[in-house]
Each structure stands twice: as C-alpha cells, then as structure tokens.
Amino acid sequence: MGRISDALLNDLWIKIFSLVFAIFLWISIVGGESGEEFFVVPLAIVNIPESMIISNDVIDYVNVRVRGRRGVLRSLDPKQIHVALDLTDAREGENNITLFPEEIKLPEGLSVVRISPSRFTVRLDRLTEKWLPVVPSFLGAPAQGFKLGKVEVSPAKVPVMGLEDALSGQEQIETRHIELFGKDQPFTVEAELKPLNGNVHIKGDHKVRVKVQIVIKTIERTFKALPVRVKGVYQKVGLKPKKVRLTVSGPELVVRGLPPGSIHVIVPAPHESGTFDVTPEVVLPRGIRMIKIKPEMIHMEITLEKKEEKKEEKKIEKKIEKK
C-alpha cells in the first residue's frame, strides 16, 4: 500500500506541473497572436498660430483602429493614445488637414491601421485686440446716512481679443458684483471681470483693483417760516417780512432732526432812525450750510425812542459847552 500511495503522489505532482505548463503555454500563444481593436480617442488641436482663433466646429473625438498583440491590446488604456491635429503650418482662412496613422503616438509594439475621420477642415480667423473701459458693478446700499462716493478702477481699461464682428458691439466690460451692504467706510477690493461672449476673451489678468469711497449722504431741507430777529433791543423796529424761507444742506441724519429753533436769522439795526434794506445774517449749527434765503433783503423802519433822543441832545450840548 505504501508503494502504491507514493506512485499516485508522484503522478499527481506531474499532472499539476503539466496543467500549469499547458496553461502558461496557451496564454503565451494566445497573447502573442496579433489582433486589432477600435478605440474612441479625444482629438487635441495644437500649435494654433498666434493671434488666430478657430471659427468653425471641429469634432472632439476620432475612431482609431490599432493593431498589435492581443495581450497588449487588452491592457491598452485609450489615454495612452495621443491624437493631435497640428496647425503649425495653417493660415488664415480655410485649411484642409489630413491626419496620418504614423502621426499618432502609441506604446511600443502597436500601430495604427486606420483613423476615422482622417481629414479635417479648420477655419482660422484673425483676432482683433480692443481696449475696453472697466465699469464696476455694485450690489446693495451703504449704511443709512451714507452713499457711494468716488470710485477708482486700476487698470481703468483692459485688453480683450476676439473676432472683429464680435468686438464691434463691446463698449465696456463689467466687474462681478461688489457688495455695499451696510458700508460706512472707504474700502478697496480685487474684483473679477465678468466673462464676455464666447468669441471674445480677456487678455491677461482677469482681476482689477477697485477703490471705493463711502461718503456721508447730504440732503437739503427747507424751513418755510423762520422768524427774523433784530440785533439791538433799545430800538423800535418794523420788519417786512417778519419771517423768511430758508433752505439748508448737511448730513442726512443731522438735517432730518434739525429743530427750527437751532437756526437764527438776525438783522443788525443801524443806530439811527429811518428806513433801511438789510441783508440778514444766518447762524447755523456746525456742519450745516445755507443754500438760499428768501427774501434776500429785509426792509426795516427804525424809530429811536424819545429818551434815547434826549440823551443824544445832552451829549451834543456837553460837547458845545466844552468848546
């Protein structure tokens, strides 16, 4: 029994070895056979002449039939196949370009049998450069009592490239929205430029520096009947009119709450009897300025009191006596 078991065991190892060898031989034979496979590969366009743009539609993918050992073909990744349309020698206008199999880059041991399509029409148009002024675009409003002031953009203009027809309707380029919500202080921001249509491209940096001034908002307010006061209480004075219409300007938050009593309209009365037309003096709170007053002149009728006249006579008599 022992001899029989040893014989069977030896035969088993021989059978296992034979099976493994057969499998390896089969893989080698099959893997070494030549075959062909189709691959869908993206088409790259390279070496576009400077200041030119492709103005027609060109397909994005091509079909490539590749020949080689089946084992290699099965492991081939389409990303290893590089198909590029070279426009080095292309000129302005319509170009008919043929792509040949030998121009396609493949791993070693593989070759291209066919490309579909292999002939391409590429139209090139010359790009035009134009400088467009940058216009800031704002969103929201500053804090109450403040408003948008001076805005400076650097650079003030940027170059764009595009077809002449596409550029003819472009007069400016806007920034993306710059937020103003609740702002009460000046600020500076880097703002991105809004993209233009597909046939126009920004040349260079796509950002500009925007310096924004936030200033106090001023308003005007009219007081319709402010009383006129006379400077000097020892005289009898008749005024015409006794009240004036006054328009002032200043910070919104201050002007809206300004009480009429804080504004004084005063006329200086001469120290003599008679009728006079006098320009009134307007005394305003700090930060408030006068816009206009109506009327601009106040008519005054002055009569000196008798006791004042007697005093004046006594002064004159004294002067005479001294002489």
- Are 229 and 184 in the same domain? no
Residue 68 has pLDDT above 80, yes or no: yes
Mean pLDDT of 54-77: 89
Instruction: Evaluate whether residue 55 is within a structural domain.
Output: yes
Q: Which domain holds residue 38?
A: 32-126
Model confidence at 25, pLDDT cuts 50, 70, 90, reads very low
pLDDT given for residue 263 in this prediction = 96
- Is the domain of 177 the same as that of 243? no
- The better pLDDT of the pair 260, 273 is held by 260
Residues 96 and 150 in one domain: no
Instruction: Identify which has the larger pLDDT, 307 or 122.
Output: 122
Range with lowest mean pLDDT among 82-91, 158-167, 293-302: 158-167
| Tens digits of residue pLDDT in 304-323 | 655 544 555 556 556 545 54
Residue 285 lies in a domain: yes
Q: Tell whether 135 and 164 lie within a shared domain.
A: yes
Question: Are 249 and 297 found together in one domain?
Answer: yes
Which residue, of 216, 240, 275, is where some domain finishes?
A: 216
Claim to verify: residue 94 and residue 139 sit in the same structural domain: no
**Same structural domain for residues 64 and 85?**
yes
Using a 10 angstrom Cβ sphere, with 0-12 exposed, 13-18 middle and 19 or more buried, the burial of residue 49 is middle
Cis check: omega of the bond before 42, within 30 degrees of 0: no
Same structural domain, 171 and 118? no
181-234: per-residue pLDDT in tens?
A: 999 999 999 999 998 876 788 988 899 999 999 999 999 999 999 999 988 655
Confidence of residue 5 (pLDDT cuts 50, 70, 90): low
Domain final residue, candidates 171, 201, 216: 216
**pLDDT tens digits, 108-117:** 889 999 999 9
More reliable by pLDDT, 28 or 280: 280
Burial class (CB in 10 A: 0-12, 13-18, 19+), 191: buried
265 lies in the same domain as 298: yes
Q: What is the pLDDT of residue 195?
A: 87
Is 22 inside any structural domain? no
- Indicate whether this model's pTM tops 0.75: no
| Segment 150-174 mean pLDDT | 90
Residue 14: which pLDDT band, with cuts at 50, 70 and 90? Answer: low
Q: Does 30 score more than 50 pLDDT?
A: no
Answer whether residue 284 shows pLDDT above 60.
yes
Stretch 159-172: mean pLDDT, rounded?
Answer: 86
User: Is 318 a domain residue?
Assistant: no
- Has residue 106 been placed in a domain? yes
Give me the number of domains the chain comprises.
3
Q: Answer yes or no: do 118 and 137 share one domain.
A: no
* Cα 165–Cα 168–Cα 174 angle in degrees, nearest 5: 120
Domain end, chosen from 200, 216, 232, is at 216
Regarding whether 201 and 138 lie in a shared domain, the answer is yes
Q: Is residue 320 part of a domain?
A: no
More confident residue, 241 or 321: 241
Mean pLDDT computed over every residue of the chain:
85
* 146-150: long-range contacts, CB 8 A cutoff, minimum separation 24: 146/183, 146/184, 146/214, 146/215, 146/216, 146/217, 147/214, 147/215, 147/216, 147/217, 148/180, 148/212, 148/213, 148/214, 148/215, 149/186, 149/212, 149/213, 149/214, 149/215, 150/213
What average pLDDT does this structure show over 139-162? 95
Is residue 319 domain-resident? no
Q: Residue 273: pLDDT band by 50, 70, 90 thresholds?
A: confident
Please check whether residues 232 and 170 belong to one and the same domain. no
- pLDDT at position 29 over 60: no
Report the alpha-carbon distance of residue 173 to residue 259 in Å, rounded: 47
Residue 238: CATH number of its domain: 2.170.120.30
Q: Is residue 168 part of a domain?
A: yes
**Candidate from 133-147, 178-192, 261-275 with smallest mean pLDDT:** 261-275
pLDDT at 31: 44
